[in-house]
């Protein structure tokens, strides 16, 4: 069964790569540190909203020290529209302080180290390591990747950590960084949460969910 899933995953990658040749990280950033902050802000928030907020935020605060020095109340006001702003402000300040104290002002480049930063779990770690440094530390699992992986029959798991483990067995490591981008683009444009555009989907003939809901296109 794992062999069949690997074969189907390879076909999914082939088709999505062709369909979305310009797939990329949707968050705007100009440094690994900015990507870290943007990813922390993206929790329970759209990338579009984060990009609106960081357009001003990254002009106001340029270094970890800037985020350490600003009063928490002021930072909360600056990021208020991203939601959960109190927790995010606390995490950003804690992460910035540790980056200064432990890592000399630089973002660490291992998952073990980056997970010690405030507000950083595996998803954030994978986003930063993969997109800022080209380090394939794992597979980013957001809501789109989770939904599509389940619909495509790549996993039966529900938690991001377990879904990631399943995907790491199916997706070649060379594709770990780009695979989530292809899936996210497809999730946003075609495989919507409520009303997926199954009849427009390039994966319809190999998607178990399509066959169940519409019938086997073959």
Model confidence pLDDT, tens digit, residues 20-67: 999 999 999 999 999 999 999 999 999 999 999 999 999 999 999 999
Residue 100 DSSP label: H
Task: Please give the Cα distance from 198 to 56 (Å, whole number).
Answer: 39
| Nearest to 9, CA basis, from 200, 145, 105 | 145
**What residue segments make up the domains of the chain, in order of their start?**
2-24+140-213, 32-133
Fold of 32-133: Endonuclease III; domain 1 (1.10.340)
pTM above 0.85, yes or no: yes
Catalytic residue annotation: 123, 142
Reply yes or no on whether the pLDDT at 92 is more than 60: yes
Fold of 2-24+140-213: Endonuclease Iii, domain 2 (1.10.1670)
């Amino acid at each position: 069964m794992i062999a069949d899933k690997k074969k189907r995953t390879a076909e999914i990658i082939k088709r999505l790569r062709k369909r979305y040749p310009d797939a990329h990280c949707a968050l705007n950033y100009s440094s690994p540190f900015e990507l870290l902050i943007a990813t922390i802000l993206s929790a329970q928030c759209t990338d579009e909203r984060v990009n609106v907020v960081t357009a001003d935020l990254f002009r106001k605060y340029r270094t970890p020290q800037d985020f350490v020095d600003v009063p928490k109340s002021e930072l909360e006001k600056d990021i208020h529209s991203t939601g959960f702003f109190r927790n995010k402000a606390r995490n950003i300040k804690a992460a910035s302080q540790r980056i200064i104290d432990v890592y000399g002002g630089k973002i660490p480049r291992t998952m073990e180290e980056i997970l010690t930063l405030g507000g950083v779990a595996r998803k954030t770690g994978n986003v930063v390591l993969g997109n800022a440094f080209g380090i394939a530390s794992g597979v980013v699992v957001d809501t789109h990747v989770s939904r599509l992986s389940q619909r495509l029959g790549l996993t039966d798991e529900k938690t991001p950590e377990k879904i990631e483990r399943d995907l790491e067995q199916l997706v070649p490591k060379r594709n770990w960084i780009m695979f989530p981008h292809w899936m996210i683009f497809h999730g946003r444009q075609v495989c919507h949460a409520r009303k997926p555009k199954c009849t427009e989907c390039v994966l319809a003939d190999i998607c178990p969910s399509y066959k169940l809901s519409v019938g086997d296109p073959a």
